[in-house]
Amino acid sequence: MTGSSGGLVAARLPLDPGPPIDPFALAGPDDILFHTGDLALVGLGRAVAITLPHGLDSASDLDRAGDTLAAIPCEDRVDPAGGGAGVIGFGALPFERYRPASLVVPEVTFGIDASGKEWVALVARDRSDLPTGSTGLRAMLQRMMAPGSERTAAIPAPASVDPLSSDESFEAMVGEALAAIGSGELAKVVLARHVDVRMERAVENTGLLRRWHQLEPNCTVFALPTPDGRFVGASPELLVERSGRRVHSRPLAGTAGPMAGTRGIVPPGELLESPKNGNEHRLVVEAIERALRPLCADLDVPDRPHLVHLHNLTHLGTSLTGTLLRADDGTVPTALHLVAALHPTPAVGGVPAAKACRLISRLEPRPRGNYAGPVGYVDSQGDGRWVVGIRAMTVDGRQARMAAGVGIVSGSEPAAELMEANLKLTAVFDALAPGVTFTTSPVPVGHGTAG
């Protein structure tokens, strides 16, 4: 199905007692995973696909998506006051906001929160197909779990690393962006370096995601099927979260290297005082504030950013929180409408957005696809959480397509931006091929050296 709930019905039920469900094993090699650290969601099968023919540019497409989710009646036996929030649409949307996209409502959605409370939501064509109680649900999920072979399987080594732009050509791209900034055409643009990795054999996705979660426990680990392969990542950047009338966004911009003197990249201890990084971050926060302020009764924007530490990088982050305004009919924007209001932020696009996106399209060697696009979910109540699809790659068999972006502002240096892009690519490569040193050398890397 592609856009109509078609008489579907749903139920959200608590699990019967028993051994805990492993969300990574349940998602297996092909299904949906969205793991925030305090909430893990797994989607299995497809009850309905809700198409967005014009992507985020069509308000009517967004309205129809919300109406489709809300039209699926859900009996919520976990939280009767929840009103059916077990009906969830997951999506990995393209970076280019006008491109067609879709949301998938799984047939089975498993959830577990930080307290260990587990539940399962089932979507069926007839109410008689839904269980009347929780007995046997845990056993059903355990049967769906992938075998645990990934825990002992050898991790395939990379056979080759193929950068789509050489070091010199990427620095030249940065130089062109700096010329456009110097002429007053724009204030900031984010340029991505694209790299293709070919492994010796197919990537084992379950083990990859489990390693990524261990490597970046404070990031949102995700995996969603797309037409190009499985889009997987560990995003540190919250685009937007809506819970009732509460809204939250935590953009990141400004980067410190792992140590002092990393070819022009500031060390973590100096990041808060760096004028270049501070300017880059300020442009992002101001753009998000401009987008959210008209939608909010109140919006708290801290005066100074904080440091966000990852395993090999540190970023500047700012948490914006607010209360959404009610429309005349009592509604507030859904999480998907908020995504449309924000994407692309200057953390992945630029300022002004339209000019920056045109420059990105002209300079980058291929379209971004899902890289830097919104990844997340929206439920039938309009609540949801969406992250920015960075520190990510598209995996298809032995192939992994990676990209990493750097924010170019006045004062940026091409050599330092190249190093930053490679450090961000390293963050992805460390999960894909642990123990192998990332390099963009055109020579096949084989087993590499311990990193």
Instruction: Write out the catalytic residue numbers.
Output: 188, 237
- Reading the block at residue 208, the tokens are 């990859």
Judge residue 361's burial from the number of C-beta atoms within 10 Å of its C-beta, 0-12 exposed, 13-18 middle, 19 or more buried: exposed
Rg (C-alpha) for the chain, rounded Å, is 22
CA contacts within 13 A on the Cβ side of 411 = 10
Report the SS3 class of residue 299: strand
In the block, tokens 């939501």 appear at 121
362 neighbors 354 (Cβ within 8 angstroms): no
If you count them, how many residues does the chain have?
451
Helix pair angle (335-342, 275-292), 10° resolution: 130
Cβ-based neighbour number of residue 338 at 10 Å: 26
- The CA distance from 45 to 297, in Å, is 39
Nearest residue to 85 (alpha-carbon basis) of 337, 335, 347, 449: 335
Q: How far apart are CA 416 and CA 409, in angstroms?
A: 12
**CA distances to 113, 291, 315 from 422, in Å:** 34, 31, 15
**Measured distance CA(375)–CA(364) in Å, rounded:** 22
Contact 292, 247 (CB under 8 A): yes
Could you count the other beta carbons within 10 Å of the beta carbon of residue 366?
12
E strand or H helix that includes residue 425: helix 414-432
> CA-CA distance, 154 to 173, in Å (whole number)?
38
Helix count (H) and strand count (E) of the chain?
9, 25
Distance CA 338, CA 384 (A): 10
Q: Which amino acid is at 195?
A: V
Query: Three-state SS for 338?
Result: helix
What single letter denotes the amino acid at residue 152?
T
Residue 325's φ and ψ, nearest 5 degrees, are -75, 145
Measured between alpha carbons, how far is 86 from 9 in angstroms, rounded to an integer?
11
The residue with tokens 């990209």 is: 403
